[in-house]
């Protein structure tokens, strides 16, 4: 089963979007990576379930609380009944198995650096679903190997720090100044390059879905354009290619990030 993009048509005839459950071990995950984490998940499908597990009566998880509302993550309370025993892991495993049998999911994203989830990842894969693992580089190799794909969260944190540096610069005004909107350009470029073929071209329809997965509030009308294609046309950083449809009179739009050329 290919990891990305997810194959097959959806019921409405468009590309199928994999439904993913994102389960986060709050005890073993830093809040600083959450935006990068969800952006990474958006590359593989839609996070239809987002849950985070921990003892929310503890001061140790205080830094997580603002992130839960911002990213619509459901907190699952799990009291620490016994010192030295991780009740959070058990709660995640039980929920994962319930979701496996009761929900029509295509895969799971298990966010933890704990080896206790090794058997869970293997069990989910035995059921024919994809497992994406997310954890620090200290994560035991057994858990890493049990996943179809494993992403180290240090990478996500570095990417987020770079984006924060760009955002700290003066923000451009909307409308005609979008050419300098670094956050917008980064969002569009990442979506295009994630879906690009060997020549760098990506189909506009798929790009639009990828952008929505990354940023639910995105709308080209926020920038003064009725359609996404018009927004891309207004940005000199991108190339546009309109191609005739194979089985119809219409045309398909493809987007490519402009490659830098040496100035002469």
Judged by DSSP in three states, 21 sits in strand
Topology alike, domains 19-158 and 172-257: no
Q: What's the CATH number for 19-158?
A: 3.40.50.1010
Residue-range domain boundaries for the chain: 19-158, 172-257
pLDDT of residue 5: 46
Alpha-carbon distances, residue 22 vs 17, 87, 111, 187, 227 (angstroms): 15, 18, 7, 21, 31
pLDDT along the chain (264 residues), means of 10: 47 70 93 91 93 90 89 88 64 94 95 93 96 93 92 80 58 60 91 93 92 82 88 94 82 86 42
Greatest CA separation for the chain = 70
Quote the tokens at residue 54: 């921990």
pLDDT of residue 262: 40
**Is the Cβ–Cβ distance between 128 and 106 less than 8 Å?**
no
Q: Which superfamily is assigned to 172-257 in CATH?
A: LOTUS domain-like (3.30.420.610)
- The span from the CA of 231 to the CA of 216, in Å, is 17
Judged by DSSP in three states, 75 sits in strand
pLDDT of residue 8: 46
pTM: 0.69
């Amino acid at each position: 089963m290919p990891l990305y993009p997810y194959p097959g048509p959806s019921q409405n005839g468009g590309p199928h979007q994999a439904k993913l459950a994102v389960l986060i071990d709050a005890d073993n995950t830093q809040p600083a990576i959450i935006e990068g984490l969800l952006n990474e998940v958006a590359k593989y499908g839609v996070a239809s379930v987002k849950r985070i597990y921990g003892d929310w009566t503890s001061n140790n998880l205080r830094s997580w609380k603002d992130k839960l509302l911002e990213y619509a993550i459901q907190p699952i309370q799990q009291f620490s009944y016994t010192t030295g025993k991780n009740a959070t892991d058990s709660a995640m495993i039980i929920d994962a198995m319930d979701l496996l049998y009761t929900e029509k999911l295509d895969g799971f994203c298990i966010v933890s650096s704990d080896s206790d989830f090794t058997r869970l990842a293997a069990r989910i894969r035995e059921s024919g679903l994809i497992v994406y693992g997310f954890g620090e580089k200290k994560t035991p190799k057994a858990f890493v190997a049990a996943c179809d794909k494993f992403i180290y969260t240090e990478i996500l944190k570095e990417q987020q720090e770079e984006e924060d540096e760009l955002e700290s610069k003066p923000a451009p005004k909307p409308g005609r100044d979008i050419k300098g909107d670094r956050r917008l350009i980064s969002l569009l470029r990442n979506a295009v390059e994630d879906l690009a073929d060997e020549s760098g071209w990506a189909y506009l329809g798929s790009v639009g879905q990828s952008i929505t997965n990354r940023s639910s509030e995105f709308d080209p009308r926020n920038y003064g354009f009725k359609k996404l294609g018009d927004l891309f046309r207004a940005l000199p950083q991108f190339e546009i290619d309109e191609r005739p449809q194979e089985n119809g009179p219409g045309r398909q739009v493809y987007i490519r990030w402009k490659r830098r050329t040496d100035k002469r």
